[in-house]
Amino acid sequence: MLYSELAETFDRLESTSSRLEMTDILAAFLKTADRSELRSIVYLSQGKLHPDFVPGVLGMADRLVLRAIAFTSGTPEDKVEKMWVETGDPGNVAESLISRKKQMTLFSEDLTVERVVKGLTAIQDADGKDSQERKMKTLANMLHDSGPLEARYLCRTVTGRMRVGAADMTILDALAIAFSTKEDRPAIERAFNITCDIGLVAETIATGGMDAIRAIDVSVGSPVKVMLAERLPSVAQIVERMGGRCAIEYKYDGIRVQAHIGKDGVRLFSRRLEDLTSNFPDIAEELRRTCRYGEAIIEGECVAIDPDTGNMLPFQNVTHRRKKHGMDEAVKEVPVRIFMFDCLYRDGEDMTSSPYLDRRAALETGFEIGGAVQMTTMRIVESEEEGEDFFSSAVASRCEGIMAKSIESDSVYRAGNRGFLWIKYKKDYQQALTDSFDLAVVGAFYGMGKRAGRYGALLMAAYDQETCRFETVCKLGTGFDDAFLDGMPALLDGTLSETKPADVDAEMVPDVWFEPAVVLEVVAAEITLSPIHTAARDVIKDGAGLGIRFPRFTGRVRDDKSPEQCTTVGEIVDMYGMQAHDSDGLSE
Ligand code: AMP
């Protein structure tokens, strides 16, 4: 297939904000695409070459791309740079300059999807001496045979700016329409949730239909989307909701890790599918040593331990392990333990459909527990009092709170889903009216007074899973210390956007916009109806959205969460409901 056909589809996708329309455009296109290219096409529509868990990202510096544009179009570099300063997007610059270039036919070669994939792979893998020059030339070579639209998307892809609205959920909808029926949508989503590979799902359904989709199993090496917990405001409500009897575990304050223990070694994934193996080499080794299965996938929380007292340390201490350098020292200085809480797979047996107690038993029998490999502390409780008592001991042990887990026969591992089979309850719930929020930064306001010359406040958004859009909930200006204020440009400026990003809904207009990428943890006093914020607009009341009052940054950058994993608008609506319930209780 010619890349121009793909670029035209991207252009059509970008020109609509209706998710239904996007789904139809994608479905029609995927249906006609060559099956052997489907996988690449799906990855390219998300600006990638492979699923997120495969190492390697495309990230060419803007200036290098500008040089390639100048080189191909014969435009002086200073003029190209000026255009870039004006538009902020190398894609737009390429589009307008390439459209003016003379078409050369003698040395042209068709720009096919296959050629683009090869070229982009070479750019991603270029390493060592002259790598910048080689990247530049490879891109220039592709631009040489591009029309304006292809040039726009090539430059956006190499600089990590591809956002045409082909979110995972939209692609899954499109696959159901193109190759099956809407009724099969949940089975298609399950295949995605247990493989985290949208390209694989697309290729499987197109070539083998629904039988092949249903035959996809959890497998070592492909991360499984993590199961998430709902929240309730009191232990009493949790025990009642669980039917009067449930398991409760300590909720540890660390980093969630999904360990894939295979014949060829151990790989650790974060909840946003980053490979964390090099951050926790000691944990990987201990899991391998203590595992009695040939193969297994388990989950646990990695927690830093004070080497002098043996006490658990807060989350910040384990983040040292995320830094690339000095790992040997970090392993010695900050010992880490993994507290295992789930088993998703063991020796050919997909355990995601087994009940909670069986999965936990698989951990207890499958590992030699001790040292750095521990089980989460758990108790089966049958009353509010027992639950409260357990919560107090969790807090006394420096945990964040508790995780209640259903022990019913249907207590399966629901990959990629948030539901009431797991319910979290944190100590913050007792202080503030609401839980903490993990929100995406979508804009910034320049500071005044002591903050002049820096960003003074940020525009924060929650994620709407239904529409795949980011909707604002607050302007955040408190909780920033000097170090954070100074570090903000380094943290955020890589995601600067000249205009409001296509997937952001906002009425408040900041001084600068950011593509949603950075997630911050925020606490607040209350969720209120808001005339200006766009989250859950018209859901509770016509013309009003939901905003959060007195937001304060906790100091925690959630770099373990992707923007799509931040607090959802649905959760905020539920929290608003819980809050109303709470104050009803108070006024009784
Ligand atoms: P939150 O990030 O507040 O939504 O809480 C969910 C997170 O709690 C999970 O993703 C885990 O990282 C963490 N966690 C800590 N202890 C447990 C546990 N016993 N069971 C499940 N998750 C846990």
Query: Which residue has tokens 């249906």?
Result: 31
- Measured at the CA of 127, the angle between CA 124 and CA 129, to 5 degrees, comes to 145
Quote the CA–CA distance of 85 and 91 in Å, as a whole number: 12
Quote the CA–CA distance of 426 and 233 in Å, as a whole number: 9
pLDDT at 435: 67
Query: Which of 532, 531, 529, 571 is CA-nearest to residue 546?
Result: 529
Query: Which residue has tokens 């956002």?
Result: 163
From 226, 230, 256, the mutation candidate for ligand 1 (largest count of ligand atoms within 8 A of CB) is: 256
Q: Would the pLDDT of 226 be above 60? A: yes
Token code pair at residue 98 = 């390439």
Query: Which of 226, 138, 216, 177 is CA-nearest to residue 417?
Result: 226
Q: Which atom of ligand 1 is nearest to the CA of 436?
A: 3
Q: Three-class SS string for 225-250? A: CCCEEEECCCHHHHHHHCCCCEEEEE
Q: Would the pLDDT of 582 be above 60? A: no
**Mean pLDDT within 179-193:** 96
The H or E element spanning position 100 is: helix 90-100
Q: Would the pLDDT of 522 be above 60? A: yes
The alpha carbon of 435 and the centre of ligand 1 are apart by a number of angstroms equal to: 14
Query: Could you tell me if the CB of 256 is within 6 A of ligand 1?
Result: yes
Quote the CA–CA distance of 534 and 548 in Å, as a whole number: 12
pLDDT at 588: 22
Q: Where are the alpha helices (DSSP H) in 346-383?
A: 356-366
Nearest C-alpha to atom 14 of ligand 1 is from which residue? 251
Q: Would the pLDDT of 583 be above 60? A: no
Nearest C-alpha to atom 12 of ligand 1 is from which residue? 256
Token code pair at residue 400 = 């964040």
DSSP track, 376-405 = PPEEEE-SHHHHHHHHHHHHHTT--EEEEE
Query: Which of 188, 162, 168, 167 is CA-nearest to residue 177?
Result: 188
Quote the CA–CA distance of 267 and 284 in Å, as a whole number: 7
pLDDT at 563: 94
**Mean pLDDT within 388-416:** 94
Query: Could you tell me if the CB of 403 is within 6 A of ligand 1?
Result: yes
Residues 150 and 3 sit within 8 Å (Cβ to Cβ): yes
The H or E element spanning position 438 is: strand 437-446
Quote the CA–CA distance of 439 and 436 in Å, as a whole number: 10
Task: Quickly state the pLDDT bin for 56 (edges 50, 70, 90).
Answer: confident
pLDDT at 77: 94
pLDDT at 105: 58
pLDDT at 581: 44
Quote the CA–CA distance of 393 and 388 in Å, as a whole number: 9
Q: Three-class SS string for 20-89? A: HHHHHHHHHHHHHCCHHHHHHHHHHHCCCCCCCCCCCCCCCCHHHHHHHHHHHHCCCHHHHHHHHHHHCC
pLDDT at 324: 53
From 225, 250, 301, 397, the mutation candidate for ligand 1 (largest count of ligand atoms within 8 A of CB) is: 301
Query: Which residue has tokens 């080189």?
Result: 71
DSSP track, 444-509 = EEEB-GGGBTSEEEEEEEEEETTTTEEEEEEEE-SS--HHHHHHHHHHHGGGEESS--TTEE-SS-
Query: Could you tell me if the CB of 251 is within 6 A of ligand 1?
Result: yes
- Measured at the CA of 41, the angle between CA 39 and CA 46, to 5 degrees, comes to 105
**Mean pLDDT within 141-152:** 94
From 411, 417, 424, 438, the mutation candidate for ligand 1 (largest count of ligand atoms within 8 A of CB) is: 424
Helix, strand, coil share (%) of the chain residues, nearest 5: 45, 25, 35
**Mean pLDDT within 557-583:** 83
**pLDDT one-digit tens code per residue, 317-333:** 887 676 655 777 777 78
Describe the strand order of the beta sheet including 378-381 as a list of residue ranges: 228-231, 418-426, 401-405, 246-251, 378-381
The alpha carbon of 318 and the centre of ligand 1 are apart by a number of angstroms equal to: 15
**pLDDT one-digit tens code per residue, 292-309:** 999 999 999 999 998 888
Residues 567 and 544 sit within 8 Å (Cβ to Cβ): no
List active site positions.
251
Quote the CA–CA distance of 345 and 342 in Å, as a whole number: 9
Paired residues of 228 in beta bridges: 418
The alpha carbon of 256 and the centre of ligand 1 are apart by a number of angstroms equal to: 7
The alpha carbon of 422 and the centre of ligand 1 are apart by a number of angstroms equal to: 10
